[in-house]
Each structure stands twice: as structure tokens, then as C-alpha cells.
Amino acid sequence: MNNLVIDGKILFSREESSAEETELFRYIMKVIYIRKQSYILLIGVGFVLAVLFLLNIRNGERVANSRKNNAEIINRRVPLHNLCNTALDLREKVDRYEISGSGKYNFSYCMVYKAATTTWLRIIRFLNGEDLSLKSPFDSSKYRTHYYNASKFIPYFKYNQNQDFLDNSLRVMTVRDPYTRLWSAYIDKFLLPDFWHTRGRCIVNLLRKRKADQTSLRCGHNVTFKEFVEYVVSPNEESKRWHQDKHWIPATEMCRLDQFKPHIILKQENLRKDIFKIFKKLNLPASIDKTSSEDLTDYEMMDQLDYVFKVSNFDCVSPATLGERIWKAFQYNSYIPLEIMYPKDEFHNNLTMENMRSVLRSRRESWLVKSEVKKLQKREAMISAYKTVPLKTLYELRNYYKDDFKAFGYESKPSDIFEPFIGS
């Protein structure tokens, strides 16, 4: 009997068959066998593909998780990366942000930071109507001057929007010896805490690389003057853009002389004497050159102390360490003598602005010396700092400020900085 069975059903059955029928039967059975083998093969291939698909999904999940973890790592680095890669377009910076003044008194002022900028910001705010109850612009604290309602009282002018005003106003700027300006920036921004979490972190990240401890990378609180100078004059052209900051950019770049065309260029070194000439020329109020304090050094010291405490936090240094930093900064600025050590015992582990103010004043009142002696102490402190900078870096710094030296008549190679061992 010849039966053709498919899926359990007999489709063809004969007890006897001819030769042709028998051959046909065999052919059909062969075809069915091949089909069954193909089904098995297809099932096998399908199974393998399914396994591969599942493995690929799991691998994809691992890749995705890996990418997610990498993204988290990258994101944790983003704040510092963005911060340290901030490139300034100096032309836009000058046009938009660094020229202020007063329309009422028809004068414009191009700011060179660390060259009497806080003084001029106080004056500009006062002339533009800030708190008329103030007797003088100098009654406003440094912190208030920079951060309180600044956009309201400190206008900024752009050449493409305020060309007529800028062309017809009395244009003024103040400059400063580049070496003392840079040293002053270091004291205010790195010895004291203003730039610790910003540029301080960048310097540590760039210069110390793998040698930096985690606290330094997180806080940027212990940058040395040598590191700061090396950061400013970095030879890498791409990274050099990152390092630009208005507190040390050359004055000739902050205030392009060919565009701003100042009528008057004041020098920080003679500011107290020369600034009065500007007041008279602009017919400014008589009260503008007065402060509520008869002791200008005490005024500067207390104002800086107030600022430091307002911008400080103690997540990186202890109060005692901050007190030592303030003490050292005030010695460098000749507010107190170098030979008097920081009196930490007097604070009883409880540093406050009030007790720091009291101790500083008591030490200063006992320091009865001529102004020439204080100037000498200030200069010697700066020279000692520059002695830590390699000679090659000093020449790079000289080149960095070459246009300032040429434009404003400052000595580009002072002997006490470039020849530190002369006479020793």
C-alpha cells in the first residue's frame, strides 16, 4: 500500500499502482522530505537569530549603560571644562561691556580692572542716581558697588549703538604698571578667595594635572604666584584664549586706543592727585572726592575685609586659615607690618569680621612709620613674589604686556624684578 500522509492526513492511498504512479509517489515523498528538512533548517536559523538578537539587546543595554556612565563622568567635568574654555572676544568685550560713564555729565570711562575700577564704578553709580542719601560715592562698600543693582546704575556702551555719545563725551581711562597690576590681581583673587572656585580651579587643572590633590582640584584655593604668572603667559595659543580675564588682560586690549581714543589717561600711581582734575573738568559735586573716613588706609582695609567675608565660604579652608590669608594680604598691601605674626590666639578659634577688624586696627595703630616705609614694604613683598618666577617666564610676561609698556611709559624690565640677586 502506498500512502501519502501530510500533517496526519492521508491524501493519497492505493493498494496497487502502476510504475508511473509509483514513480510519481516517490517524487512527491522526496519533495515532502526536502520541505521538512527546510522547515527544520529554517527553525534552526530562526533560533540562532533569536539568540543573537537577545544577546545584541543585552550588549546594547551594556553599551547604553556604559555611555550613560561616561556621560555622567563628562557632565561632572563640564562646569570646569566650560569655565576653563571660556574664550573672550576682546573686540566684543570692549564694545559691549567695559565702557561705562554718565550721560548727564557727558563722560565715558573705559575700565582696566585692577586699575582703580572700583573707585570709578562708585563714582559712576553715584552720578547715575544711586541712593542719594549717600554723602559720597565712597560710602558705598566694594561688595555693594560690584553686586548691588549694578545693571541699573552702571550703564555700558557699545560703539555700534552709542557711537554719537562716545564720540562726543570726555573719554577717560586709568592704567597701572603691569607688574604691580598682576601682583595686585593675585592678592585679591587668589591669595584671597574671590577666584578660588573659578580661575583657581582652572590653574590647578591646567598646570598640576595628575599631581593635584582632590581638594585643590575642587577648590583652587592654593595657587602660587608662580603658577598664576605661568597661566597668564601660557604659550599654547588655543589655551591662551581661555586664560584671558579682564583683571589681567593688557590695558591696550581692554581699551583699544585706536577706537576709544581717550582724552585723559590717568595712572594709578598718581590717582589721588590727578583724579581731582577730572572732577573739576566735569563739574562734579564737591562731595564726590570725600569719604566718611578721615583715614583712607583704614577705609580701604575695612572695605576689603567686608568684601572678603561676603564672598568667602569655609568648604575649602578653615576660618583660621582664611584669617591667616587676610593677614598676609594686608601685610603685602602695607596695611600692617610684616614682622607682626598672625595672632591666632586672640581669635580663640572664633574668627569673625568684627574681631578681625578690632585686631587689625589695634596692630595698625601701633605702626607709626612714614609712608615711604610702607611703600618700600609693599614693593619688597612684590619683588619677593616675582623672585619665585623663572626668568624665561618673566620675559614671556614682559612680551605679553609689551604694548602697555610702550603706550603708557612703564619700565618693561625693572632691575629689581629681572635681576633679583643684584647687590646681594
| Chain segment 151-172, per-residue pLDDT in tens | 788 898 988 889 999 999 999 9
C-alpha cell at 290: 570725600
What region, left, alpha or beta, does residue 114 occupy, with left being phi > 0 and alpha being psi -120 to 50 degrees?
left
Residue recorded with cell 549603560: 65
C-alpha cell at 104: 548727564
Strand 170-175, strand 264-267: pairing: parallel
User: For residue 16, is pLDDT > 50?
Assistant: no
User: For residue 51, is pLDDT > 60?
Assistant: no
Weakest mean pLDDT among 180-189, 220-229, 252-261: 252-261
pLDDT at 260 (0 to 100):
92
pLDDT at 339 (0 to 100):
87
Helix, strand or coil for residue 11?
A: strand
Residue among 123, 379, 386, 393 nearest 232 (CA): 393
Residue 111 has a CB neighbour count (10 Å cut-off) of: 24
| More confident of the two residues 135 and 140 | 140
Tens of pLDDT, residue by residue over 226-273, are 999 999 998 655 555 556 789 999 999 999 899 899 999 999 999 888
pLDDT at 164 (0 to 100):
93
Residue among 381, 370, 318 nearest 344 (CA): 318
C-alpha to C-alpha distances, 276 to 261, 266, 272, 286, 403, nearest whole angstrom: 21, 11, 7, 10, 28
C-alpha cell at 371: 609712608
Tens of pLDDT, residue by residue over 64-93, are 443 333 333 223 333 455 556 554 444 444
pLDDT-derived band at 319 (thresholds 50, 70, 90) equals: confident
Mean residue pLDDT of the chain comes to: 79
Asked if residue 14 lies in contact with residue 2, where contact means CB atoms within 8 angstroms, the answer is yes
Weakest mean pLDDT among 12-26, 96-110, 320-334: 12-26
Which residues, in sequence order, are bridge partners of residue 3?
13
Mean pLDDT of 371-379: 90
C-alpha cell at 417: 624684578
pLDDT at 26 (0 to 100):
59
Using a pLDDT cut of 70, give the percent of the chain over it: 71
C-alpha cell at 221: 584655593
pTM listed for this prediction: 0.76
Residue type, 276: F
